[in-house]
Amino acid sequence: MVITKRGLVLSAAAMLLTAVTLANTGCSSKSLASFRGSPKELVDEVWQIIDKSYVDGTFNQVDWKAVRKDYLNRTYSTDEEAYKAVREMLKKLDDPYTRFMNPEEFKNMQVDTSGELTGVGIQLTQDEKTKKLVVISPIEDSPAFNAGIQAKDIISKIDGKSTEGMDTNQAVNLIRGKVDTQVTLTILRKNKEIEFKLKRAKIEIHPVRHSVQKSPIGEIGYIRLNQFSANAASEMRSSMQDLEKKKVTGYILDLRSNPGGLLYGSIEIARMWLKEGTIVSTVDRVGETDRQTANKKAITDKPLVILVDGGSASASEILSGALQDNKRGVLVGTKTFGKGLVQSVRGVGNGSGLAVTIAKYFTPSGRDINHLGIEPDVKVELTDAKKEELRRDRDKIGTTADPQYAKALEVLTKKVTGKTGDLKAQSKPNATPAKVKAAQPKPK
């Protein structure tokens, strides 16, 4: 589901290093051009949006009114000068997810999910503390994935240029390019630098794949969800309905390396698994809570195990947190990424764009997982050697040659047979569901 209020899209995803169009968002070049005046008006338009909707009413301890006075007292003779001023202004918020995009950058960002992207296939974010550029996860079958780039890798250089002090927009502009051209990324992994030469390509994304797997308890349904794109919910529904017709005894839902996507995609999919209960709560700066719940339209109530890892972020964490807190399924793998913020993306100026952090989200039990992530119920680490083996032979993913899948199958078998006594107890939530409040950052 995409919200189409003059180009507003609610997202729970990181920056995707691909080029996409704005189809299916209700946007057009005309509807995005809400600003047609002087460059100074763009600066004020951005300021006004932040003033009205930014998640933190203290603006991260910044005197936002003084900022407006400062930047509107300046003279801007070109759009480029206004763009630079807006970026300077937003940088004061110290929030890598709130960012300005010029027309070219806005056109290239991930607000459309047509399923065909152009780039290297990396989900990228900026660490809020270290300011380093961090890979959330590579897209399957992309140049980045096939080359061996992994979740949590730090991009230290792009074509030999240091990324020190570089934001995500600047990095994206350097990494993107025409199909079949090359870009060299220097990755820092466990204090070791590795150089990757990547050829940019057109990438097809199929958000949901499913299959019937043989097991000691009969046939089970294996579903791999790669991304919460606009068509992920419909594909998930079709996959589950097909597997139900085949009378599977249980399910393994694979959310590993899923960087997130559209907020409502995770809610729609959660409703396919949950008959009742809260799915997620979003909280804005004045504490107003939007609570999304199940609607008694679950497709199945058969036993479920969910695979997660450090590349499972944002919308993936909403879904896995909802299933865990409602005791609908058991999480197997490693701790998730830890992104608990919601952004709105809207058009400003003459085709430019603005992404603004407007809310935090909480799991049904009241957990704020931003930076903390979600701990699995059963922890299974993969060695670097095993990760490389699975990358080189992707046919092993989702088979007993995949240690995390093998453990998930073991857990599912015990759930189906009722022999769950030796399973690790479900993780205790970090907060009680009594009342969710707006969590304001502490003063610096």
What CATH number does residue 79 fall under?
Answer: 3.30.750.44
Integer CA distances (angstroms), 224 to 57, 206, 210, 315, 440, in order: 39, 10, 6, 15, 36
- Per the listing, tokens 């609570």 go with 291
Question: Is 238 part of a structural domain of the chain?
Answer: yes
Same domain membership, residue 363 and residue 259: yes
Maximum distance among all Cα pairs of the chain, rounded to whole angstroms: 72
pLDDT of residue 436: 43
End residue of a domain, out of 172, 204, 236: 204
Alpha-carbon distance of 43 to 74, in angstroms, equals: 10
Alpha-carbon distance of 155 to 144, in angstroms, equals: 12
pLDDT of residue 431: 38
Same domain membership, residue 326 and residue 241: yes
Question: Is 441 part of a structural domain of the chain?
Answer: no
End residue of a domain, out of 172, 187, 204: 204
Question: How do residues 82-111 score in pLDDT, each as one tens digit?
Answer: 999 999 999 999 998 899 999 888 876 644
Active site residues: 314, 325, 339
Alpha-carbon distance of 125 to 443, in angstroms, equals: 24
Phi/psi at 421 (nearest 5 deg)?
-60, -30
Alpha-carbon distance of 136 to 237, in angstroms, equals: 26
Q: 318 near 361, Cβ under 8 Å?
A: yes
Same domain membership, residue 68 and residue 196: no
Same domain membership, residue 252 and residue 164: no
pLDDT of residue 233: 95
pLDDT of residue 337: 93
Question: Is 24 part of a structural domain of the chain?
Answer: no
Residue 289: both structure tokens together: 């809570």
Neighbouring-strand partners of residue 105: none
Question: Is 28 part of a structural domain of the chain?
Answer: no
Question: Is 109 part of a structural domain of the chain?
Answer: no
Give the type of residue at 101. Answer: M
Q: 127 near 184, Cβ under 8 Å?
A: no
pLDDT of residue 58: 95
Same domain membership, residue 146 and residue 234: no
**Residue ranges making up the domain that contains 142:** 119-204
Residues whose CB falls within 8 Å of the CB of residue 280, separated by 6 or more in sequence, listed in order? 266, 267, 270, 291, 292, 318, 321, 322, 361, 362, 363, 364
Same domain membership, residue 188 and residue 47: no
216-237 residues labelled b (16+ CB within 10 A) or e (exposed): ebeebbbbbbbbbbbbbbebbb
Question: Is 251 part of a structural domain of the chain?
Answer: yes
Q: 304 near 221, Cβ under 8 Å?
A: no
- In this prediction the pTM is 0.73
Q: 291 near 281, Cβ under 8 Å?
A: yes
Same domain membership, residue 56 and residue 151: no
Same domain membership, residue 378 and residue 335: yes
pLDDT of residue 434: 38
Helix (H, G, I), strand (E, B) or coil at 160: coil
pLDDT of residue 173: 83
E strands, 60-191, are: 99-101, 116-126, 133-138, 154-158, 161-162, 182-189
- Per the listing, tokens 């995949």 go with 402
Q: 255 near 405, Cβ under 8 Å?
A: no
Question: Is 226 part of a structural domain of the chain?
Answer: yes
Give the type of residue at 416. Answer: V
What CATH number does residue 195 fall under?
Answer: 2.30.42.10
- Per the listing, tokens 């991260």 go with 60
Q: Which of 124, 110, 106, 109 is nearest to 29 (CA)?
A: 106
Same domain membership, residue 231 and residue 189: no
Alpha-carbon distance of 279 to 266, in angstroms, equals: 9
Same domain membership, residue 144 and residue 91: no
Same domain membership, residue 360 and residue 222: yes
Alpha-carbon distance of 178 to 439, in angstroms, equals: 43
Residue 366: both structure tokens together: 């009241």
End residue of a domain, out of 187, 204, 221: 204
Question: Is 425 part of a structural domain of the chain?
Answer: no
Q: How long is the chain?
A: 444
Same domain membership, residue 175 and residue 322: no
Give how many domains the chain has, as a whole number. Answer: 3
Residue ranges for the chain with pLDDT beneath 50: 1-9, 12-36, 110-114, 422, 424-444
